[in-house]
Each structure stands twice: as C-alpha cells, then as structure tokens.
Structure 1
C-alpha cells in the first residue's frame, strides 16, 4: 500500500470506533444533553493543543532517560513516568476551563465524566493515527492490523477513562459545599487518571505478560466509570421526579408532561412521535422542552445545596417561564 493509502485507512480505523464510543456516551446522557459546541471544543482540545503540547513536554523531559538508559529503556521509562502526568495535565486544562468559565454546564458528576471522556477521545484519535502509520512502516500489514485492533478496540477507551477521572473529580468539586473537597477531588481525580495511565503504559512497555495487568486495570476502570455513570443517570432521574413534582401544582407543567419528563424512555418515544407527525420543527420543540425541564430540576437541586446561589435562582425563574411557554405550544 502507498503511504497515502495507509494514512487514509489509519484515519478511518481511528475514527470509526471512536465515533461509536462517542455515540454511546452521548446516549447515556439522556436527560440533559451537554451543548454540542462545548463537547466538540473539548474533543478538539484533546485532538490538537493537547497532542502538540504533550509532544513537546514528553520530548524535552525524556532526554535524560535516553542519555542514561538508551533508546529502548528510554522509550519505556518515558511512556511510564513522563507521559502519564504530562498528558493528563494538558488534557485536564480543558476541564478546568469548563469549570471556571462554563461551570453552569456541570450539573452532575455525569457531566464531568462526559467532558473528560470527550477530551480523551480527541487525544486518542490523533495518537492512534500516529501509531498506526508508524507500526505499518516498521512491521507491515500484519503488525498494522494487530495494532489497530489493540489500540482502537481492546484499549480504545483508555484515554477517555484516564481523563474522565479528572472530569469526575472536577464535577465533584463543582457539586460539593465542602471547601477542602473542592481542592482534593480534582487533584484526586487527576492522580487516579495518572495512575491508571502509568499502569497501562508500564505494563505494555516492560513485557508481554504484563499486558494482562493492563487489561485488568483498564477494563476494571472502564466498568467502574460506567457504573458511576449509571448511578448518576438514576440520580438525575430522581432529581427530576422530586424537583419537578411541585411544578405541576403551580402550573409550570401538566401532569402528563411531568410523567413524560420523569421517564427517559417516554421522552424518547414522545419526541420521535413529534418528528413523524409534525416534522423536524416539532421534534426540536419537544427536545428543547424536555431539556429545559431537566435543567430546571438540576438548578433547583443546586439551589437546595447552595442556598445563596442567586444566579441559579434567577436561571430557575427564567426556565419556568420558558417551560410554560414551550409547554403551551407543545403538540
């Protein structure tokens, strides 16, 4: 194959599984989808600035290892000791940016995990293309095929896992009233991501048998994060049920609208029925209505936690007005 063909096929091999992972993560966030532009921004941060900055720091900081230990051991030491803290720090900058500038978009721990995963996916897709092409040039089609399977499938969620740990910590900091935890949680999440990254890189760098260790930690971490995501979705559903109940009494919602809002399955069924009966306009209208319902529930939960949060009180008032207006025009 020509170098151009290898590059194109490598890009496709990186994109297809990553797109599948993103769709699954987006589907899990069923009650209040994060803004598309912010998800794309997080992804692009991982794919462009993070890769570039990490490459520079990894290259500079690895020089002593290569001088003292040679190329082979230097590669392994760099991958194990330099890359994890450097890459998780650079990727984490995007999450800190979201916390400081768009903190109102972090309504639950699920949001932090999702933003972290998106940054990780962006980083992984570019890194995978780089390795796919290099492995083909060094080992041919067979080695290239194995590398694609291992990096994109077996370990395809790794960077999403590592950075979602930082995102989880940042979301906890956003949701807690404990001042010490506001500092400890992000640092702890970052350290967990660095540790998992270190275990993976060290395991695959220092021996084939140690790949079993990488599999255990990587997939154990993925299952842990997935379990937290499921728990967070159930928690969000409970918030909607609790905090929207009194909105029926004051006329913000009808009893039927409340019942649909409390069920992810009923929401999807209703929204798609609007698409088939009223077209894309009705579909968007219904989607916006239930999205605002979720936002109101989350804001009311936030007000319960932080009684002096005037911005959330103001947003809740605005959301009530918008929900009432949207509900009146709902087919």
Structure 2
C-alpha cells in the first residue's frame, strides 16, 4: 500500500513538472515573440546612425522611459474612454464616435506620452548633435512603449496575435516615431521654427496613428461593417500603414544624408 502511494505521488509530481515546464516554455516563447520586434527595430535604427553614435546609457534610458510612458497613457485612455462613453456615445454618429476614440483618446494620448519623453529627456541632451539623432531617440522611446504594450497583447491573445503585431503594429509605432523624430531633428538646428517643427512632427505622428487605428476600429464594429465592407476598412488601415512606412524610410534616408553632410562640413 505504501509503495502504491509512493508511486502515485511520484507520478503526480512528474505530471506537475511536465505541465510546469510546458507552461514555462510557452510563456517564454510568447515573451520572446512580444519583445523581439521592438528590439530588432531599435537595433536597426541604431545601426543606421553612422556618425557619432549616441551614448548607450541615453538610448537605454529612452527605451525604459518609453516603457514607463505607457502607464500615464493607459490611465488617460481609461479616463478618456469613460468620459467619451458617458458624454459622447449615443450622441455622436457611431463612425464619428469611433474616429474620436482613435484620434483623440488613443493616438493623441499615446503619441503625446512618447513626445513628452523625447522633448523633456532626449531633446536637451548635448549628445543630440545631428538631425538623425531625433529619429534615434524617438524610435527608442517608441519601441519601449510598443514593447510593453505588445507583451500585454501577446499574453492576452496568443501566438497568432504576436505574429500580426510583429509584422504590423510594432513597425507602425516605429514609423510614427520616425516622423516625430525627423521633425525633432530639424527643430534642434532651427531655433526660429523650433516650436512649429516639433508640433508638426507630433501632429503627423498622431495623424497616421489615428488613421491606422481608426480604420481598424471601424472594421471591428458591426454597425459600420453592415454598411461598409470590413475588408475595405482593413485595407484602409493597411494603406495608411504602408504610406507611414514609406514616409519613415524616406525620412531616415534624408536625415542620414543631412547628418553625413554636417560631419563632412
């Protein structure tokens, strides 16, 4: 009898360890999937900075501050959602309400939280000494934000969501950051138009972020898709993503050339 009990306990322990190992490796797989795109894009942008690369401590700090900036963003979005549900839902047409959510509650909030870190922490640094640095710092902040956001989405929704976000959502955050950073790089060396250029970069990031989210939010609403093809709305979101990526790649090229000219001079 004692031998049977011992065998049963041993078998139970073995099953527990097997299940724990499986759970552990599944969690690690999801974690790696969630953090990989943000780190890969950060390394890509870092490699593009050919002249007088930024101190690692500033880049790491920007990434960490980007992670932390997600906290006020979540709080503001929760408050904004609650207020808009209370005062706007049912008053505004459904499509307009969704667009308000996409542009104001989500895009404006998230881009401002990232912009705040870029403006207050990275922008004043003496190491910010060439136009391309605006892109570098902006992307580092954004990838910190996108990575912590991605971890939440991937653990909530699984592997397939992680693949989609790796190919679309995280690169989209990077593209918005490049736009913001491009104009921050111009502003750093144009004291007369500093405020206008910084604002332009922020608004451009909000515009493309709002378009991307707006089309996808609309495609997820049954009232809207009863009148407009959901596939067409998804196509609109992907089209805005495509143009954001193209514009960001062009911005990277232009600032790379401008920084090279400054160092030659």
The answer, yes or no, to whether TM exceeds 0.5 is yes
* 1:51 aligns with one of 57, 70, 76: 70
Structure 2, unaligned runs of 5 or more: 1-18, 220-229
With over 3 angstroms needed to count, the CA separation of the structure-2 counterparts of 1:234 and 1:170, relative to structure 1, is closer
Q: Does 1:206 align with 2:218?
A: yes
Q: CA RMSD in A?
A: 2.4
Please tell me whether the aligned partners of residues 58 and 78 of structure 1 are also in contact (alpha carbons under 8 angstroms).
no
**In structure 1, what is the equivalent of residue 81 of structure 2?**
62
1:114 shift after superposition: 1.2
1:88-237 map, 5 Å:
88-98=111-121, 101-102=124-125, 104-135=126-157, 144-177=158-191, 179=192, 181-207=193-219, 208-209=230-231, 210-237=233-260
Please tell me whether the aligned partners of residues 200 and 218 of structure 1 are also in contact (alpha carbons under 8 angstroms).
yes
1:24 shift after superposition: 1.2
With over 3 angstroms needed to count, the CA separation of the structure-2 counterparts of 1:100 and 1:18, relative to structure 1, is closer
Give the distance between the partners of 1:176 and 1:170, measured in 2 at CA: 10
Count of residue pairs the alignment pairs up:
228
Please tell me whether the aligned partners of residues 116 and 166 of structure 1 are also in contact (alpha carbons under 8 angstroms).
yes
**In structure 2, what is the equivalent of residue 325 of structure 1?**
none
Please tell me whether the aligned partners of residues 35 and 151 of structure 2 are also in contact (alpha carbons under 8 angstroms).
no
Give the distance between the partners of 1:237 and 1:190, measured in 2 at CA: 25
Give the distance between the partners of 1:63 and 1:7, measured in 2 at CA: 32
1:239 shift after superposition: 3.1
